[in-house]
């Protein structure tokens, strides 16, 4: 599975950037499932 497939249907919950022991920036991202979009078909009679 590739990352793009794994993240399908997910959204970013939050993220943070930290600096590791070697002085490099590391970004941590937390994901959550997207809520389903409600749709309604309206027909006028």
User: In this predicted model, what pLDDT tens digit does every residue of 5-40 receive, in sequence order?
Assistant: 988 889 999 999 999 999 999 999 999 998 887 888
| Predicted local distance difference test score (pLDDT) of residue 17 | 97
Q: For residue 15, what are its two tokens?
A: 């993220």
Q: Are 10 and 34 in contact (CB under 8 A)?
A: yes
Q: Within 13 Å and on the Cβ side, how many CA atoms surround 5?
A: 2
> Phi/psi class of residue 10: alpha, beta or left (left: φ > 0; alpha: ψ in -120 to 50)?
beta
Give the length of the chain. 45
List, in sequence order, every residue forming a beta bridge with 19; answer none if it has no partner: 25
Residue 45 has pLDDT above 80, yes or no: no
pTM over 0.85: no
């Amino acid at each position: 599975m590739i990352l793009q497939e794994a993240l399908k249907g997910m959204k970013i919950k939050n993220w943070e950037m930290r600096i590791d022991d070697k002085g490099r920036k590391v970004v941590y991202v937390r994901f959550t499932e997207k809520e389903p979009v409600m749709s309604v078909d309206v027909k006028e009679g």
